[in-house]
């Protein structure tokens, strides 16, 4: 066993007497071979263990223990009446009605506002698509239209190159 591990056990479980018999024998065997660890064990015994061996125990008044027990004892739980699950859900929904109504109102207002704002652009897009289709068809048929502003693009290929 290495010195680091022995020193750790000397400061904790060995001093408290919490080690198994096998571990105690291993530590005692190491202490017989290692003067540094043996000196540490003696110092721990003199400074940390010996004072408690000679100390007298004080008898505390019973009131002290009752006060401590009262302070650490958990408070009794309040009695909660059990209701059926449907009543619980109904009570929950009653509390949520204003929030649900507000959410629905915001949704409807947002939808209506979105439709009003986007409506002109949809109409303009539809007109532009119809005008573009009309110009394209006129170009293919090689005829002039009143809405066409493209001039040379409505001429036939032969007229353009000749």
Whether pTM exceeds 0.75? no
Rg over alpha carbons for the chain, rounded to the nearest Å, is 47
How crowded is residue 135: how many other Cβ atoms within 10 Å of its Cβ?
A: 17
- 159 vs 122 pLDDT, higher one: 159
Q: How confident is the model at residue 123 (pLDDT cuts 50, 70, 90)?
A: very low
**pLDDT tens for residues 55-90?**
888 888 888 888 888 888 876 766 656 667 677 667
Q: Which two tokens stand for residue 16?
A: 């408290």
Smallest CA-to-CA distance from 156 within 144, 145, 142 is with 142
The single residue listed with the structure tokens 């573009």 is 132
The single residue listed with the structure tokens 């959410």 is 103
Q: Which residues contact 122 (CB under 8 A, 6 or more apart)?
A: none
């Amino acid at each position: 066993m290495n010195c680091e591990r022995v020193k750790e056990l000397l400061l904790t479980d060995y001093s408290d007497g919490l080690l198994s018999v096998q571990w105690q024998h291993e530590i005692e065997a190491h202490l017989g071979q290692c003067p540094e660890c043996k000196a540490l064990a003696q110092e721990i015994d003199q400074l940390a263990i010996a004072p408690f061996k000679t100390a007298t125990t004080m008898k505390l008044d019973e009131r002290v223990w009752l006060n401590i027990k009262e302070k650490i004892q958990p408070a009794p739980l309040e009695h909660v009446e059990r209701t059926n699950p449907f009543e619980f859900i109904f009570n929950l929904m009653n509390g949520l009605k204003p929030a649900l109504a507000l959410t629905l109102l915001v949704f409807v207002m947002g939808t209506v506002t979105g439709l009003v704002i986007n409506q002109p652009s949809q109409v303009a897009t539809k007109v532009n698509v119809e005008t573009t289709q009309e110009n394209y068809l006129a170009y293919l048929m090689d005829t002039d239209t009143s809405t066409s502003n493209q001039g040379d693009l409505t001429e036939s290929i032969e007229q353009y190159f000749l």
